[in-house]
A and B are shown apart, each in its own frame.
With several copies, the nearest count.
Chain A
């Protein structure tokens, strides 16, 4: 299997799905890059280079650059999806949902229900997420909890190139609006990724590491932070089971509950801020459905209740890291009831 970066895996998937289904179109700012300019009309592939080459292959009727008008083009995607296309929208930073929130969380999410099932809204919204490259308070948020809040949306947070390809394939073929969140710090991660296309189903968690002492549910890049912590913990004789839910909505509650039934202990690692987030969501689910299994408090490792600072040293402090995860795991393992 060829090695591919996260970025390449996404690019590959878009190519394959566009070849497979003419209804798939791409919409976003600078997803070609060069539109209306004198030079190269395939200059950028988005600010992060993910869609490079696609306009050359599929042309401007299927790769649509846009004015900086998220509300209009996201709304247009909803309309196109209701009228037979399958748009994949590049929102760039997930934070920019703030200028098209109505289109995403009210229209895309609720149309199918509100109209009594008459129309489906098969669209995928790709957006980068997370901190770590000094993009400050308004371009570094992890908004999967906000998306997961809204019924009607599906929310995908891949943790590796392999997952990215399989989950994006599923997303594009899915008949519902899917939010596909690409963690900034993962774009250059490399992994073996099959050339042929494959789907990874939504709502099925991946157990990355088995272990009997504690269950760690981690989302996005936090899976790697947890994995790093677990290696150190293993040397101390603590065996972690690491669960990557892959999709936060739908959520594979079963796999989490089964693991907690074995381990009796749960730590949740989530890069987002602490209030009403995905960590609280998983914790509350277990405190309701798996209470009897619990031998210790459920601990959450998240960012603090602060906006994201620009200064790199503060940003590092802001994000959960292996040390914080280790500390939490040791607390629950060492807990005396």
Chain B
């Protein structure tokens, strides 16, 4: 992979990590409205997938979407403002953490029922195909959401309509407080791909290189052949389902193990240094820049203006009502 791509990937993973770790602290001290689902531990998933996307490809995120958005290139500041319900937020404060959306970078936010992005992605890809613009659509789907009927329907539809969609299942061990292996008959999602006549691959989600290689192949095929595929990424989240989750359903020492053995940032860093692809100094520069960015935007957000009251009535309809 080109050096600039590696630097970008690292910057994104680091930004997500710091953004979320700080969010964890802020949530605990109050001031973050609504439910917040952190992406810590899964950074290599979205960043690995996005490393293979072109500018006109679309990523569809989930409720655990801060990392998805940042990986696709959403501005961290306006993302944060949205999460805090401020006027300058990406959606003017109408979306919040779970539904952040940024059409300027082709990032579609989570929508209602989990898994629904799978079907929306089919339409995004259909439009791309109709225009022959060579773009693919990549819905991220939690492994729990994979059991929603619409996801399974969408897999069949994408195959029947021959759409360039890569269904990426983020298997992070849990759906809320329920274990993945229990809720998924057979325990494996990539294996469902065959049922809908498409290739399916599973890789470790904490390894940026494994993710990006698998994604490269499937996305490339989708783009060239206009056919769907499945990519399952396996990596547990480090925090709870949402902030405030006591996580007593976890096994003893699980988070410690994850943090010490399966931290995608450590694994990435060790590898790029060992292979001489990047230097410690290069990474340190990024770390510092990110630290500053996060500190700045978290400071700024608390003073940021709230949406004007009139916004309540805006954007119900796009044309006259």
Is any CB of A less than 8 Å from a CB of B in the complex? Answer: yes
Interface residues of A (CB under 8 A from B): 25, 29-30, 33-41, 43-44, 47, 61, 64-85, 87, 95-96, 98-99, 102-103, 106-107, 110-122, 133-139, 151-152, 154, 174-176, 202-203, 250, 304-307, 309-314, 317-318
B52 within 8 A of A: no
B174 within 8 A of A: yes
CA distance A80 to B248 in the complex (A): 31
Q: Closest Cβ of chain B: how far from A207's Cβ, in Å?
A: 22
Interface residues of B (CB under 8 A from A): 33-35, 58, 85-86, 89-96, 98-99, 101-104, 108-109, 111-116, 118-128, 130-131, 137, 144-145, 147-150, 153-154, 156-157, 160-161, 174-184, 241-242, 246-252, 254, 306-307, 309, 311-319, 321
Beyond A71-B150, A80-B124, A116-B90, 11 additional contacts (C-beta under 8 Å) are A68-B114, A75-B122, A78-B119, A83-B127, A99-B150, A118-B103, A133-B34, A136-B94, A136-B96, A154-B317, A314-B93
CA distance A318 to B258 in the complex (A): 43
Our pick among B120, B128, B178, B313 for the contact of A29 (Cβ within 8 Å) is B178
Judging by beta carbons under 8 Å apart, are B178 and A102 in contact?
no
Judging by beta carbons under 8 Å apart, are A115 and B184 in contact?
no
Q: A33-B249, A304-B312 are in contact. Are A103 and B116 (CB under 8 A)?
A: yes
Query: What residues on B are CB-neighbors of A43 within 8 Å?
Result: 177, 246-249
Judging by beta carbons under 8 Å apart, are B95 and A116 in contact?
yes
Judging by beta carbons under 8 Å apart, are A116 and B91 in contact?
yes
Q: A69-B149, A120-B318 are in contact. Are A84 and B179 (CB under 8 A)?
A: no
Q: Closest Cβ of chain B: how far from A168's Cβ, in Å?
A: 16
Query: What residues on B are CB-neighbors of A70 within 8 Å?
Result: 148
CA distance A64 to B102 in the complex (A): 29
Our pick among A25, A71, A134 for the contact of B130 (Cβ within 8 Å) is A25
Task: Identify the closest chain A residue to B128 (Cβ).
Answer: A83
Q: A83-B128, A116-B90 are in contact. Are A98 and B99 (CB under 8 A)?
A: no
Our pick among A84, A98, A152 for the contact of B113 (Cβ within 8 Å) is A98
Q: A36-B180, A85-B127, A114-B91 are in contact. Are A102 and B150 (CB under 8 A)?
A: yes
Judging by beta carbons under 8 Å apart, are A72 and B156 in contact?
yes
Judging by beta carbons under 8 Å apart, are A37 and B144 in contact?
no
Q: Closest Cβ of chain B: how far from A193's Cβ, in Å?
A: 25
CA distance A305 to B312 in the complex (A): 10
Q: A112-B316, A115-B94, A136-B34 are in contact. Are A47 and B176 (CB under 8 A)?
A: yes
Query: What residues on A are CB-neighbors of B128 within 8 Å?
Result: 83
Task: Identify the closest chain A residue to B115 (Cβ).
Answer: A68
Q: Closest Cβ of chain A: how far from B289's Cβ, in Å?
A: 28
Task: Identify the closest chain A residue to B245 (Cβ).
Answer: A44
Our pick among A95, A117, A138, A317 for the contact of B315 (Cβ within 8 Å) is A117
Our pick among B131, B180, B248 for the contact of A40 (Cβ within 8 Å) is B248
Judging by beta carbons under 8 Å apart, are A35 and B179 in contact?
yes
Query: What residues on B are CB-neighbors of A310 within 8 Å?
Result: 33-34, 85, 91, 93-96, 99
Q: A69-B156, A309-B311, A310-B34 are in contact. Are A34 and B91 (CB under 8 A)?
A: no
Task: Identify the closest chain A residue to B156 (Cβ).
Answer: A67
CA distance A214 to B283 in the complex (A): 70
Query: What residues on B are CB-neighbors of A139 within 8 Å?
Result: 98
Judging by beta carbons under 8 Å apart, are B120 and A79 in contact?
yes
CA distance A98 to B116 in the complex (A): 11
Judging by beta carbons under 8 Å apart, are A103 and B319 in contact?
no
CA distance A314 to B87 in the complex (A): 11
Query: What residues on A are CB-neighbors of B241 within 8 Å?
Result: 47
CA distance A66 to B137 in the complex (A): 19
Query: What residues on A are CB-neighbors of B160 within 8 Å?
Result: 66-67
Q: Closest Cβ of chain A: how far from B165's Cβ, in Å?
A: 10
Query: What residues on B are CB-neighbors of A71 within 8 Å?
Result: 119, 149-150, 153
Most buried by A among B116, B118, B254: B116
CB-CB nearest 9 A-B residue pairs: A36-B182, A75-B119, A79-B123, A36-B179, A38-B251, A311-B93, A116-B91, A310-B96, A134-B34
Query: What residues on B are CB-neighbors of A74 within 8 Å?
Result: 119
CA distance A33 to B182 in the complex (A): 12
Query: What residues on B are CB-neighbors of A113 within 8 Å?
Result: 94, 315-316
Q: A40-B248, A80-B126, A176-B317 are in contact. Are A33 and B120 (CB under 8 A)?
A: no
Query: What residues on B are CB-neighbors of A203 within 8 Å?
Result: 321
Judging by beta carbons under 8 Å apart, are A68 and B144 in contact?
yes
Query: What residues on B are CB-neighbors of A80 within 8 Å?
Result: 123-124, 126-127
Q: Closest Cβ of chain A: how far from B270's Cβ, in Å?
A: 28
Judging by beta carbons under 8 Å apart, are B94 and A38 in contact?
no
Query: What residues on A are CB-neighbors of B306 within 8 Å?
Result: 311, 313
Query: What residues on A are CB-neighbors of B34 within 8 Å?
Result: 133-136, 310
Judging by beta carbons under 8 Å apart, are A67 and B183 in contact?
yes
Q: A33-B177, A175-B318 are in contact. Are A82 and B108 (CB under 8 A)?
A: yes
Q: Closest Cβ of chain B: how far from A51's Cβ, in Å?
A: 12
CA distance A99 to B130 in the complex (A): 27
CA distance A43 to B312 in the complex (A): 38
Q: A34-B249, A37-B251, A68-B175 are in contact. Are A117 and B92 (CB under 8 A)?
A: yes
CA distance A72 to B182 in the complex (A): 16
